[in-house]
């Protein structure tokens, strides 16, 4: 299996070291896979669209902002 290197700052590394029971390589692999899956869905949805990549990013930003607002408005 190929390897990659991920850089983290000292503070994050210290925090990670407080949890040696966690397989950080697996956490990273899962995060990358989730992101790739989302990108592939986006590619599939936009493959026959006249939207530019910039248009898609703008729409995604609006969706993300809407989601953040909803989370912020949820009662705690």
pLDDT digits (tens, 9 = 90+) for 18-51: 999 999 999 999 999 999 999 999 888 778 878 8
Domain locations along the chain: 10-73
Q: Determine contact, residues 42/56, Cβ cutoff 8 Å.
A: yes
| pTM of the predicted model as reported, rounded to 2 decimal places | 0.60
What is the rounded distance in angstroms from the CA atom of residue 60 to the CA atom of residue 75? Answer: 25
């Amino acid at each position: 299996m190929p390897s990659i290197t991920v850089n983290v700052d000292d503070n994050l590394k210290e925090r990670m070291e407080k949890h040696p029971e966690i397989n950080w390589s697996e956490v990273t692999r899962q995060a990358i896979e989730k992101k790739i899956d989302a990108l592939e869905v986006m590619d599939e949805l936009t493959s026959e669209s006249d939207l530019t990549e910039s248009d898609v990013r703008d729409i995604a930003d609006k969706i993300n902002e809407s989601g953040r607002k909803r989370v912020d408005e949820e009662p705690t």
